[in-house]
């Protein structure tokens, strides 16, 4: 699906930005780069900034006009500063990504078009785009670096693609949580822990059973929200047992555990 | 709210990346940059790549250690490649942004920590972070440019901030959480707690300094994800102090607290 999405850079001045864009694309799993009339390409600076994404640069298509760059596309989105005299359907990067993925998922070819470093896209170029995309930036300092702007849109495309894959990010997250918590402690294990904690606090003289105040409820609130795993529970119980031995004079430094 | 969020760059080699990060921050409305032991700063290359965000560079704080960079923070998130031997709570950039905004909305100070260009953050540095953030990248080409990585997280922070601006119900939620957590413990308070915990565990013989295994990192992971408040911190420190007294035979049952 991602191979249906091309990045089009119009009239780029600095070859370093072409390299940076190539790197950002490859980081996010995009591979098709089209350069419309670049000022300086190929270039060693582009290769340096690509930092290993030279395959993207090598296979980049160089064309003379935006029209050529858009051949075969069924959806074209152009990046734009917000204020344009002609109002146009405007998407934020997240909406842009969803729209791209929908189209690419149906087999359509999609272009994300980026303008010149200082001047952006001309009004004529913008009118070739069905949608405009605006990266919501600080109104007092709104112009992003070109490669960085490519990164933001490519990142959103990847997030949408991962979501469309059946949520592997979520899946990975679940796996991490699964590893982390291995098995969560059950409620009855938590209750045994609270009982053990309470009696230990009494033994070391921190908790006065005649004047318990809110101590145990505060500790319950703390440990209750942590999502304690069985492994962590064993550690906490082990600490309590060792503390009790110390309090009873049964054990001193370096006990086995 | 955004002014409570600082970007921390650790041991950056290329000043151009510092400039690029400053530009990305300013584009997204972030302003606090902290540099831990940068290789080359101040630098003309940083100024060039900042492209007008020189105010961020001028006010950047330069410190010697990560610890200094995190003073006052109640939430620390570190960027990380996915595979680490000790699993840790892992967020994607979007979840990271929501978490940052919640904390900043309660008046907490938040740090987003970025590692070295080639080597990232060390395991020790990663263990100072409550959460790890992974930008979901192409597994075959996963390493983003530093300034670009800053851009992605800053972009998500801005998106979350813009969303929060338009949703007053969020505010109510934040206020409830604020009441609950009163004031969050800061990172330096957390470090003092870990030090106190470690020495106490040695005193009661639960932790063998010769064979520490993963005990402290597991406990850091547990307490790090709980969002400990100052009040709770006082309770935990009180328990440790009382445990130490018991271990030293200084106090028995019903000590004052």
Helix H, strand E, coil C: the string for chain B is CHHHEEEEEECCCCHHHHHHHHHHHHHCCCCEEEEECCCCCCCHHHHHHHCCCHHHHHCCEEECCHHHHCCCEEEEEEECCCCCCCCCCEECHHHHHHHHHHHHHCCCEEEEEECECCCECCHHHHCCCCEEECCCCCCCCCCCCHHHHHHHHHHHHHHHHHHHHCCHHHHHHHHHHHHHHCCECCHHHHHHHHHHHHHHHHHCCCCCCCCCCCHHHHHHHHHHCCCCEHHHHHHHHHHHHHHHHHHCCCCCCCCCC
Is residue B120's pLDDT more than 90? yes
Rg (chain B; Cα; Å): 20
Q: How confident is the model at residue B19 (pLDDT cuts 50, 70, 90)?
A: very high
Is residue A207's pLDDT more than 70? yes
Is residue A168's pLDDT more than 50? no
- For residue A209, the domain's CATH number is 1.10.8.590
B29 closest CA partner among B167, B174, B155, B171: B155
Q: Inter-chain contact B144–A24, Cβ cutoff 8 Å?
A: yes
Q: How many domains does chain B have?
A: 2
Residue that is last in its domain, among A134, A167, A200: A167
**Pair B97, B151 in one domain:** yes
**Pair A19, A62 in one domain:** yes
Q: What are residue B96's phi and psi, to 5 degrees?
A: -55, -45
Q: What is the pLDDT of residues B61-81, one digit of tens each?
A: 999 999 999 999 999 999 998
Parent domain of A23: 2-167
Residue where the block lists tokens 């409570």: B4
Q: What is the pLDDT of residue A150?
A: 98
Within-domain flag for B47 = yes
Residue that is last in its domain, among B170, B196, B225: B170
**Pair A214, A115 in one domain:** no
Q: What is the pLDDT of residues A61-89, one digit of tens each?
A: 999 999 999 998 889 999 988 665 566 78
Within-domain flag for A252 = no
Contact status, residue A42 vs residue A70, Cβ threshold 8 Å: no
Is residue A179's pLDDT more than 70? no
**Pair B114, B216 in one domain:** no
Q: What percentage of chain B exceeds 90 in pLDDT?
A: 70
**Pair B92, B208 in one domain:** no
**Pair B47, B10 in one domain:** yes
**Pair B87, B202 in one domain:** no
* Residue of chain A minimizing CA distance to B249: A247
Contact status, residue A17 vs residue B147, Cβ threshold 8 Å: no
A133 interaction partners in chain B (CB closer than 8 Å): none
Within-domain flag for A176 = no
Within-domain flag for B205 = yes
A253 interaction partners in chain B (CB closer than 8 Å): 202-205
Mean pLDDT calculated for residue range A109-127: 93
A137 interaction partners in chain B (CB closer than 8 Å): 27-29, 158
Within-domain flag for B256 = no
CA dist., res. A7 & res. A70, Å (int): 10
- Shortest distance, CA A153 to any CA of chain B (angstroms): 10
B143 interaction partners in chain A (CB closer than 8 Å): 27, 51
- Shortest distance, CA A252 to any CA of chain B (angstroms): 6
Q: Inter-chain contact B27–A142, Cβ cutoff 8 Å?
A: yes
Mean pLDDT calculated for residue range B152-162: 97
């Amino acid at each position: 699906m991602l191979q249906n999405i091309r990045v089009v850079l119009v009239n780029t001045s600095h070859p370093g930005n072409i390299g940076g864009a190539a790197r950002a694309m490859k980081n996010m799993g995009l591979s098709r780069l089209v350069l419309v009339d670049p000022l300086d390409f190929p270039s060693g600076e582009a290769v340096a900034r690509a930092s290993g994404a030279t395959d993207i640069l090598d296979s980049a298509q160089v064309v003379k006009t935006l029209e050529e760059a858009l051949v075969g596309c069924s959806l074209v989105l152009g990046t734009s500063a917000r204020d344009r005299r002609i109002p146009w359907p405007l998407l934020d990067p997240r909406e842009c990504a969803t729209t791209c993925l929908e189209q690419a998922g149906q087999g359509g070819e999609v272009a994300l078009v980026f303008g010149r470093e200082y001047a952006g896209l001309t009004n004529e170029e913008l009118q070739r785009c069905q949608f405009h995309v605006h990266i919501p930036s600080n109104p007092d300092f709104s112009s992003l670096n070109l490669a960085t702007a490519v990164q933001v849109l490519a990142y959103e495309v990847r997030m949408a693609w991962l979501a469309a894959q059946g949520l592997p990010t979520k899946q990975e997250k679940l796996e991490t949580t699964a590893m982390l918590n291995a098995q969560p402690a059950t409620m009855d294990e938590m209750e045994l822990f609270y009982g053990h904690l309470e009696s230990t606090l009494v033994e070391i003289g921190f908790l006065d059973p005649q004047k318990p105040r809110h101590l145990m409820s505060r500790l319950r609130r703390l440990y209750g929200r942590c999502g304690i795993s069985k492994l962590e529970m064993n550690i906490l119980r082990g600490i309590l047992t060792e503390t009790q031995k110390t309090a009873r004079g049964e054990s001193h430094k370096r006990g086995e555990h």
